[in-house]
Structure 1
Amino acid sequence: MKKYAAKFYVGVEQFSIQRDHVHILLRGSRRSQIQSFLRVVAGQFAQTLTDTFTKPKDGVSVWLHRPFTRVVKGYRAYQTVRNYIQLNEKEALGRPYSKTRLRGMTEEQLRELWA
């Protein structure tokens, strides 16, 4: 990701790679650069996961759905996305899942999330 972030002038602020999905928080100045970065990184992930570097592709698809992207405007929305990605990473490492997730968290729990 670092290589392609530099190539397309995109800043990768935070990422979380899970078993069945990926979260990436990007900062960029032009939409076309972000789109190019996402396209290339998705292709690189797929090639790595299906090992098409050493053998021909056998028709198995890596991605079940098209990527979901969202433009984040404002500091509060930015903080929410950062906390969501961090929470997702902690849940993958064993933190119990909660239906309320970020909505029910106190300031103390949010500090604990980042500890």
Structure 2
Amino acid sequence: MKSTQLSLIPTRSNKRFFGGALLVGRRKTPRPLNTQEAIHFVLRSQFAQGKTSFRTQKNLRGITVILKKASVKYGVRIYRQAIQSNHIHLVLKIPSRKSYKCFIAVITGKIASIVMNFQSFKNFVKDLLIREAGEGYKTPHQGQAFWEYRPFSRLLFWGKDYKTVINYLLKNTLEALGFLKYEPRAKNYVYEKIHERKRKREPNISWARDFKTPIW
């Protein structure tokens, strides 16, 4: 029997990526999770900017408390978190799929509630568009909610892959705090419109080999 070599390079075939725009135009499949590996999650909202940014004093404090309480309650270990104006990075390890589902449901629901000042999404958007005169905000499409797509996730290899992501999130945090000058990122791969590519063409994920291209 011919032996095959196990690939250590993240590819679509070994299902280490999930969520974000990767789901657009694709049938529903279970999110790849692993209790033995760290996972990089990204949550993003187009409505978190300016006075509704995740980094306002009220929202930042509330989000930090939510993440801490939820991680303790569901046994999720958070190795690193980076809360930016309109997106949140989490590198974590989960004890089970059930714990993940509870954890992600709680944090996404409560974070959205705090940012929306406990209004319904419909009233929040209505007030936002009136107050900000629509500047910088896109009118939500039918069926859209506070979060853009489902959370993006990527299973991380221990070692260089893990350290690269951890260091990147640290840089993100220092930039947000003003200790480092912000460096514009290359176009992110999480929310790009992959469905606009030709159906027969495989998405180009060569950047996944060494994670040199940042998310934001």
TM over 0.5: yes
Q: Structure 2, unaligned stretches of length 5 or more?
A: 1-66, 126-144, 187-210
The answer on 1:88 being equivalent to 2:154 is no
> Percent identity, aligned pairs only?
30
Once residues 79 and 58 of structure 1 are traced to their aligned partners in structure 2, the CA distance between those partners, rounded to angstroms, is 37
Once residues 39 and 71 of structure 1 are traced to their aligned partners in structure 2, the CA distance between those partners, rounded to angstroms, is 19
The alpha-carbon deviation at position 6 of structure 1 amounts to: 1.4
Amino acid at match of 1:57: S
Match of 2:154 in 1: 70
TM-score w.r.t. structure 1 length?
Answer: 0.73
Match of 1:20 in 2: 86
> Is the 1:49–1:62 Cα contact (8 Å) retained in structure 2?
no
Deviation track 1:9-36 (CA, whole Å, cap 9, x = no partner) reads: 1111111111100011111232331232
Query: More helix by proportion, 1 or 2?
Result: 1
Once residues 58 and 41 of structure 1 are traced to their aligned partners in structure 2, the CA distance between those partners, rounded to angstroms, is 16
Match of 1:7 in 2: 73
Once residues 31 and 65 of structure 1 are traced to their aligned partners in structure 2, the CA distance between those partners, rounded to angstroms, is 20
Deviation track 1:21-67 (CA, whole Å, cap 9, x = no partner) reads: 00111112323312321221011100100111xxx415134323321
TM-score w.r.t. structure 2 length?
Answer: 0.41
Q: Which has the larger Rg?
A: 2
> Is the 2:79–2:91 Cα contact (8 Å) retained in structure 1?
yes
> Is the 2:121–2:146 Cα contact (8 Å) retained in structure 1?
no
Instruction: Check 1:73–1:58 CA distance in 2 against 1; reply closer, same or farther (3 A cut).
Output: closer
Instruction: Check 1:99–1:22 CA distance in 2 against 1; reply closer, same or farther (3 A cut).
Output: closer
- Count of aligned pairs between the two proteins: 100
Once residues 63 and 34 of structure 1 are traced to their aligned partners in structure 2, the CA distance between those partners, rounded to angstroms, is 18
Once residues 115 and 89 of structure 2 are traced to their aligned partners in structure 1, the CA distance between those partners, rounded to angstroms, is 17
Pick 1 or 2: higher relative contact order, CA cutoff 8 A, min separation 6: 2
Q: Structure 1, unaligned stretches of length 5 or more?
A: 104-115
